[in-house]
Structure 1
Amino acid sequence: MKLKAVAASTNKSSQGFLEHKRKKTWIDNKSGCHCFMLYASDDNIEVAKLSHVCWLDVRGKFKISDLSPGIVYQVAYVVKLTKGASGWELPITLRLSLPGEEVQDRQVSLLEKPRGEWIELNVGNFLTDGRQTREVCFDIYQHGGHWKNGLIIKGAILRPKDNLTP
C-alpha cells in the first residue's frame, strides 16, 4: 500500500516524492468492515503542502485483499486549501482505477471549496471481491495550466460507502 505525490515546476525537472509509510486502521462499528487512512508523509507533520507548482500528480494504491469482501468501498482524498490558495481556476481530475482496467474519472473545481478547513474529495466507489488479489489505484492530477499553491494533502481514506466518519 502506497501514497505518492509528485509535483514539478516548468523551470526545472525537480520532483518530490512522498512514499507512504504511515496508516491508520480501524474496524467500522456499524458495518464491522476494515477502514484505512493512508497518510501523505511518514514524518511528524503527516501532510504534504504544494507550493508553486504547474502540475499536480498524487497517486495511491491499495491491495483489495486487505479490505472486507463484498462491500462497496469509497475512496476519498482528505485535503485543505489555505486561505491564500491560488491558481485553481481549472478543475482537477480524480481517477479511480480498478483491476480489469475499469476507470472512473471525475473533475472537481477547487474554486468553490471552502478555505482553511479539511474537506474530502470523493474519488469513487468500488465493490470488493474476496478473491481479488490486485490493487485499486486512486489519483488526483492536473497537468499544465496555471501556477498553483496552497493545497495541503493529509492522505486518502478507504471505508465502506455508508460510513462517513473516519
Structure 2
Amino acid sequence: MKRCYYLEVCGKFDTKELIYGTRYEVVFVVRVEDTMTRWNNPATAQLMVPDNSLQEREFQFIDLIKNEWIEIQAGVFDAQPHKEKIAFFLYQHQSNIRMTGLLVKGAIIRPVE
C-alpha cells in the first residue's frame, strides 16, 4: 500500500478439502517497510470458526521487524468431518491520518507442526 487511511483484509475458506482431525493455523503475511509512517495504533488479527469462540490477537505494526516478510497468526482450528466455512480478518481502523509503508502478501492456511 502506498497510502491508506485504514486497513481491512478479510477472507473466507471452505474446510471441506482439509484433513479431518488435523490442526491448522491461519497466518497473514505482511511486510513493514522502513519508510512506514503512522501505524502506531494497535492492529487486530481474527479467526472465526463455527461453533468456536472468536480468536483475536492484537499487535503493533511498529513492533515488527522491518523489511522482511513476517507471519501474523490469526488463530488455529481443528478440521471437522463436516463442511465448515471459516473467516479471517486483519484490520486497523484509523481515520483522517494517511499511513504508508505496509505490504500485505496474503493469508496462508496450513497444518500446525
Task: Give the TM-score normalised by structure 1.
Answer: 0.64
Distance in 2 (CA, whole Å) between partners of 1:147 and 1:69 is: 44
1:152 partner SS: strand
Distance in 2 (CA, whole Å) between partners of 1:101 and 1:54 is: 32
Q: Once the 2 structures are TM-superposed, how far is the Cα of residue 101 of structure 1 from its aligned partner?
A: 6.0
Runs of 4+ displaced beyond 4 Å? none
1:117 and 2:45 are equivalent in the alignment: no
Alignment-derived partner of residue 82 in structure 1? 33
Q: Which has the higher contact order (CA 8 A, sep 6+)?
A: 2
Q: Percent identity?
A: 32
Distance in 2 (CA, whole Å) between partners of 1:62 and 1:117 is: 27
Distance in 2 (CA, whole Å) between partners of 1:104 and 1:159 is: 17
Q: Once the 2 structures are TM-superposed, how far is the Cα of residue 60 of structure 1 from its aligned partner?
A: 1.1
Task: Give the TM-score normalised by structure 2.
Answer: 0.91
Q: 2:86 aligns with which of 136, 139, 142?
A: 136
Alignment-derived partner of residue 59 in structure 2? 108
Quote the RMSD (CA, aligned, Å): 1.3
Structure 1, gaps ≥5 residues long: 1-49
Distance in 1 (CA, whole Å) between partners of 2:23 and 2:109 is: 10
Alignment-derived partner of residue 7 in structure 2? 56
Distance in 2 (CA, whole Å) between partners of 1:147 and 1:93 is: 19
